[in-house]
Amino acid sequence: MTLANVFLVAGPWQIVVVVLVVLLLFGGKKIPELMRGLGSGIKEFKDASKEDEKLEEKKKD
């Protein structure tokens, strides 16, 4: 079973339980910080992949 199938199998109550567990573990104030860090990490990854593509294009020319 792949990760995508797990989310399709999960019902609304399972999702609510997971959200509650995350809130209990990290607290309401920590979640925005975690999401901000995740967003900046994704942005850095995209920027790095774009730089790699530019370098590959320069090598081909």
With tokens 């792949």, the residue in question is: 2
Each residue's pLDDT tens digit, 14-29? 888 888 888 888 887 8
The DSSP letter of residue 48 is H
Give me the pLDDT at residue 44, please.
Answer: 93
Give me the pLDDT at residue 6, please.
Answer: 59
20-42: string of b/e by CB count within 10 Å (b at 16+)? eeeeeeeeeeeeeeeeeeeeeee
User: Which residues have a Cβ under 8 Å from the Cβ of 10 and sit 6 or more positions away?
Assistant: 18
Give me the pLDDT at residue 8, please.
Answer: 65
The domain locations on the chain are 3-60
pTM: 0.51
- Extract the residue ranges of the chain whose pLDDT is less than 50: none
